[in-house]
């Protein structure tokens, strides 16, 4: 009996020693088939693995440029895979021939309309020259009439009197002031024909008034020409010469009357002495009456001219001058309005002509595109260089007799001297990708050869086609340029690329599936003698296989590669575990449960968590 007691005590002591050596644990024993990995120390390459297709970075792509509503048929097409040689390029070998009969009919129909438009354009252009010539002639005639009216007024009242009067009225008084007046008036007329201004003014109906029947008096009506005679303001003009002539005639008539009166007095004395007959005396008396009448007529004509004829003629000539001024401006305005309409018709005809000409040129370009000839040596491939699943579904297959849509790629001739790989970078890796990063490429058809390249292009926005049927998928197209030339590479081959993001020297790392996260805390399940232990770690960079551990483990430490069955998060003191709320691991690791960041409660290996 004592032996059994001693044996039991020995076993209990051994278990206690074992527990002390293993330390407190988070769970019971670990099954033998639980996957385990050791922490390693060494160099770690941080990379991103993606798949893509090999494509030519430079290529010559031919698309259907014919714009027909029902498409265009392919009459002939070179076999896919045919290699275009330099001799084919020199001979301009036909690669594709499209049915151009419908285009030829469209060109014939368009010719009739084009000729009519061309004739209308030529007529409108010729009409400008004719109308400009007529307008300039009429403006020249109005300008000449204005100068003649000014000369007539100056001639009638005299140069100085005319200048003083016109200055007082604010009207041009010589050729120089006439030129300035015409320039200013022309500028005002031109501004009045501003289309934008006319639209703005016409939008306000309050400014539009009805036509007034009563016109304002001319400036000439306000001039007192009678003062010209009273104040002796007339110069050596026609009016002054007329007044002088009338004064001279009155003076002569007065002298003649004096002579006749003396003759009559002599005749009376002679008659009293019977030296002359009574008839002779009567003749002398008749001559006296005539002389008196002649003097009276001369004085009356002078008074009438001074009081009536001169003011009337002066006002008339000044009014004619005013009217000539208005006539010149009116003529210019009318001709400018006429020319504006002619210019508008010309611009309209020109625009129609340009549109029809562009349409004609476009039809001819479409007709020329119906025959595609060899321009560059290379391998012929059907379709476009950047065709994908989504665009290829929109177009029918390329073959002889097929109907092509507008813009559909027909054939592509890639430049085999510069190849690359088009890949889609997942949004979780896009921040790691930079231009110039080193890339290793492996073609799936030639897996034993690894090629070297670099990132030459990364899209700024995600590919919209990729997210069309899966909105949650965000990938960024990128281009990898392959260094050198390799005859075994062909466009369209599938390839895997390894983008080297960083190269870490002498670091500790473990498989990514061995690191878990709970409430922003990363940890591993450290293998112990008696089971496992939940152990926090500080992570660094990672690739698809391994993750760097900056703190927490040393080389040789063993960790579980998946979460143990029956594991429960540590008990908490102040908060409850949210139902159904789970944590996540790094890049495909195991799954824990999100808990509050309260201190852990240590659990021995023989107790349940």
545 domain residue, yes or no? no
Per-residue confidence (pLDDT) for residue 577, from 0 to 100: 42
Could you read off the pLDDT of 123-174 as tens digits, one per residue? 888 888 888 888 888 888 888 888 888 888 888 888 888 888 888 888 888 8
Residues 174, 253, single domain; the answer is: yes
- Domain range enclosing 158: 115-195+219-355
Clarify whether residues 284 and 241 are in a common domain.
yes
**b/e burial code for range 103-127 (CB count within 10 A of at least 16 → b):** beebbeeeeeebeebbebbeebeee
267 and 400 together in one domain = no
Q: Are residues 387 and 304 in the same domain?
A: no
| 76 and 225 inside one domain | no
User: Do 86 and 233 fall within a single domain?
Assistant: no
Domains: count for the chain: 2
- Helix, strand or coil, per DSSP, at residue 521: strand
pLDDT at 194: 59
Structural domain contains residue 132: yes
Same domain, 169 and 76: no
pLDDT per residue as tens digits for the range 408-445: 899 888 887 888 998 888 888 888 888 998 999 999 88
**Most confident stretch, 1-10, 194-203, 413-422, 435-444:** 435-444
Specify if 421 maps to a domain: no
What pLDDT score was predicted for residue 524?
92
- Which has the higher per-residue pLDDT, 524 or 209? 524
Report the CATH number that the domain containing residue 90 is assigned in CATH. Answer: 2.40.50
Tokens of 86: 């330099």
Identify the band that residue 385 occupies on the pLDDT scale cut at 50, 70 and 90: low
Please tell me whether residues 344 and 390 are part of one structural domain.
no
Burial level of 378, CB count in 10 A (0-12/13-18/19+)?
A: buried
* pLDDT at site 519: 84
**Confidence grade of residue 511 (pLDDT, cut at 50, 70, 90):** very high
Residue 75 pLDDT grade (very low, low, confident, very high; cuts 50, 70, 90): very high
CA pair distance 548, 44, nearest whole angstrom: 8
The answer to whether position 142 is within a domain reads yes
Residue 170 lies in a domain: yes
Residue 78 lies in a domain: yes
- Whether residues 226 and 288 fall in one domain: yes
> Distance between CA 302 and CA 250 in Å, rounded?
8
Alpha helices in 26-100 (DSSP H): 86-91
- Residue 135 maps to a domain: yes
User: Based on the domain organization, do 263 and 142 belong to the same domain?
Assistant: yes
Number of helices (H), then strands (E), in the chain: 11, 23
- Name the least confident of 13-17, 479-483, 527-531: 13-17
Question: What are 59-68's pLDDT values in tens digits?
Answer: 888 998 998 8
pLDDT tens string 318-373: 888 888 888 888 888 888 888 888 888 899 999 999 999 999 999 999 999 999 99
Same domain for 350 and 316: yes
312 within domain boundaries: yes
Given pLDDT bands bounded at 50, 70 and 90, which one contains residue 485? confident
pLDDT for res 70: 87
387 and 340 in a single domain? The answer is: no
Phi, psi for 17 (deg, rounded to 5): -65, -40
How far, in Å, CA of 426 to CA of 459, rounded? 12
Which tokens belong to 168?
Answer: 């007082």
- SS3 labels along 103-153: HHHHHHHHHHHHHHHHHHHHHHHHHHHHHHHHHHHHHHHHHHHHHHHHHHH
Instruction: Identify the pLDDT of residue 609.
Output: 29
């Amino acid at each position: 009996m004592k032996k059994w007691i001693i044996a039991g005590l020995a076993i209990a002591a051994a278990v206690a020693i074992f527990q002390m050596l293993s330390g407190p644990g988070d769970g019971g024993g670990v099954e033998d088939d639980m996957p385990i990995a050791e922490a390693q120390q060494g160099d770690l390459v941080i990379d991103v693995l993606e798949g893509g297709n090999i494509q030519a970075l430079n290529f010559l792509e031919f698309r259907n440029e014919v714009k027909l509503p029902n498409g265009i048929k392919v009459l002939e097409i070179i076999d896919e895979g045919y290699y275009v040689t330099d001799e084919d390029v020199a001979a301009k070998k036909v690669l594709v021939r499209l049915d151009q009969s419908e285009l030829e009919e469209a060109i014939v129909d368009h010719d009739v309309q084009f000729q009519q438009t061309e004739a209308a354009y030529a007529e409108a252009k010729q009409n400008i020259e004719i109308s400009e010539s007529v307008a300039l002639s009429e403006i020249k005639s109005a300008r000449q009439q204005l100068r003649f009216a000014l000369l007539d007024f100056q001639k009638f009242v005299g140069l100085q009197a005319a200048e003083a009067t016109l200055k007082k009225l604010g009207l041009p008084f010589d050729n120089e002031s006439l030129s300035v007046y015409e320039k200013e008036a022309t500028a005002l007329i031109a501004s009045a024909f501003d289309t934008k201004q006319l639209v703005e003014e016409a939008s306000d109906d309050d400014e539009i008034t009805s036509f007034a029947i009563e016109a304002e008096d001319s400036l000439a009506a306000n001039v007192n020409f009678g003062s010209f005679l009273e104040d002796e303001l007339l110069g050596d003009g026609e009016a002054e010469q007329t007044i002088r002539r009338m004064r001279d005639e009155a003076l002569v008539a007065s002298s003649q009357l004096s002579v006749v009166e003396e003759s009559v007095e002599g005749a009376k004395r002679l008659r009293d002495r019977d030296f002359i007959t009574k008839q002779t005396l009567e003749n002398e008396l008749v001559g006296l009456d005539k002389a008196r009448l002649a003097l009276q007529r001369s004085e009356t004509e002078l008074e009438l001219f001074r009081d009536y004829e001169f003011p009337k003629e002066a006002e008339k000539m000044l009014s004619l001058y005013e009217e000539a001024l208005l006539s010149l401006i009116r003529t210019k305005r009318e001709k400018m309005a006429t020319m504006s309409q002619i210019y508008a018709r010309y611009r309209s005809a020109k625009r129609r002509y340009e549109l029809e000409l562009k349409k004609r040129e476009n039809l001819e370009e479409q007709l020329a595109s119906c025959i595609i000839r060899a321009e560059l040596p290379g391998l012929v491939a059907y379709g476009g260089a950047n065709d994908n699943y989504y665009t290829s579904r929109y177009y029918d297959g390329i073959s002889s007799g097929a109907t092509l849509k507008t813009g559909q790629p027909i054939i592509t001739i890639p430049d085999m001297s510069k190849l690359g790989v088009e890949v889609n970078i997942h949004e979780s890796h896009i921040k790691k990708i930079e231009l110039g990063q080193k890339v290793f490429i492996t073609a799936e058809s030639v897996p034993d050869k690894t090629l070297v390249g670099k990132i030459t292009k990364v899209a700024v926005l995600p590919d919209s086609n990729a997210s069309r049927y899966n909105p949650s998928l965000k990938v960024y197209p990128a281009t990898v340029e392959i260094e050198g030339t390799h005859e075994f590479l062909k466009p369209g081959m599938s390839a895997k690329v390894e983008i080297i993001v960083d190269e870490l020297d002498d670091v500790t790392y473990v498989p990514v599936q061995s690191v878990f996260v709970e409430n922003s805390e990363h940890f591993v399940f450290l293998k112990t003698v008696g089971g496992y232990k939940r152990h926090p770690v500080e992570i660094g960079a990672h690739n698809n296989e391994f993750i760097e551990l900056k703190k927490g483990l040393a080389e040789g430490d063993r960790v579980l590669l998946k979460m143990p069955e029956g594991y429960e998060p540590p008990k908490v003191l102040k908060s409850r575990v949210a139902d159904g709320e789970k944590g996540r691991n790094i890049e495909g690791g195991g799954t824990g449960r999100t808990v509050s960041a309260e201190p852990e409660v240590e659990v021995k290996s023989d107790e349940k968590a």
